[in-house]
Amino acid sequence: MNNIIKDFKTSDLENTKFVHPLRLTYNQNGKNKAWEAVKSHDSVAVLLYHEEKHSFLLVKQFRPPVYLNDNSKLCTYELCAGIIDKEKSLEEIVKEEIDEECGYKVEVDSILKVTSFYTNVGVSGSKQHLYFAKINNSMLSHKGGGINDEQIELMYLPLDESDEFIFDESKAKTPGLMFSFYWFMKNKNSLGIK
């Protein structure tokens, strides 16, 4: 990914669309406390396994908050994912995200729920629902890359490189991605993958 970042600035948020900064006050065990938090959308994420390539399909993209904290990281490696902001089933949202970001048409009934967990527990505490789906060449309908102004690059990671990838600290990645690799390796026989 050839990211060229210019004029990177910070400013206070007003009239926000996706996140809402808050100051929380509460009493815990008789002691008054305060906490700064961000209210945000829950999300879905999906681990995609490409059958012919024997690879995971990951997305790479520029994430300004990661860059803010470490400007050596021009992209993050992530699962295909999206926020829950529609009146649709979670599986339908997963299907849309796979199509938009990766260009594959996957049927809802072939999307497997793995688990759900909370992310950014010290800041937003939003919930992510994790899924799994197999893809193959016959499902590819376009090149992917996201919609509107998203700039998503696709990356196929061969299974035999996934352990090394997990521990490569030079690559910014999410805990959900690393957990999904663990889940896959633990369950690949029952998924019919050798």
pLDDT at 36: 87
pLDDT of residue 9 exceeding 80: no
Interval 75-87 mean pLDDT: 95
Token pair recorded at residue 194? 């050798």
Q: What is the C-alpha separation between 1 and 157, in angstroms, rounded?
A: 15
Q: So what's the pLDDT on residue 1?
A: 57
Distance in angstroms (rounded) separating the CA atoms of residues 181 and 17: 32
The answer to whether residue 64 sits within a structural domain is: yes
Residue 141 counted as domain residue: yes
Q: Is 151 left (phi over 0), alpha (psi -120 to 50) or beta?
A: beta
* Count: domains in the chain: 1
The pLDDT of residue 92 is 98
Alpha helices in the chain (DSSP H): 64-69, 90-97, 162-166, 175-187
Q: How many residues does the chain have?
A: 194
Cα-Cα-Cα-Cα dihedral sign, residues 138, 141, 144, 147 = negative
Going by the DSSP 8-state scheme, the letter that residue 98 receives in this structure is: I
Mean model confidence pLDDT for the chain: 92
Q: Does residue 192 lie in a domain region? A: no
For residue 28, the tally of other CB atoms under 10 A from its CB is 7
**CATH code: domain of residue 121:** 3.90.79.10
Does residue 76 lie within any of the structural domains? yes
> Which residue has better confidence, 111 or 146?
111
Average pLDDT over residues 20-44: 89
Whether residue 25 lies inside any domain: the answer is no
- Which pLDDT score is estimated for 128? 97
Name the residue with higher pLDDT: 131 or 4: 131
**Rounded average pLDDT over 69-77:** 93
* pTM of the entire predicted model: 0.90
Angle at 38 between CA 125 and CA 130, to 5 degrees: 35
Amino acid at 155: M
Residues 107 and 50: their CA atoms lie apart, in Å, by 15
Full residue range of the structural domain in which residue 165 is found: 41-187
**Does residue 5 lie within any of the structural domains?**
no
Q: SS3 for 120?
A: coil
Report d(CA 53, CA 151) in Å as an integer. 24
- C-alpha 99: how far from its chain's center? 15
Instruction: Give the pLDDT confidence of 110-144 residue by residue, as tens digits.
Output: 999 999 999 988 888 899 999 999 999 999 999 99
Confidence (pLDDT) at 148: 80
Convert 37-88 into a string of H (helix), E (strand) and C (coil).
EEEECCEEEEEEEECCCCEEEEEEECCHHHHHHCCCCCCEEECEEEECCCCC
For the segment 41-50, the average pLDDT, to the nearest whole number, is: 97
Q: How confident is the model at residue 182 (pLDDT cuts 50, 70, 90)?
A: very high
Instruction: Using pLDDT thresholds of 50, 70 and 90, give the confidence band for residue 48.
Output: very high
Assess if residue 150 is contained within a domain: yes
pLDDT of res. 101: 96
With respect to residue 31, please indicate whether it lies within any of the assigned structural domains.
Answer: no
Phi/psi zone of residue 175: left (φ > 0), alpha (ψ -120 to 50 degrees), beta? alpha
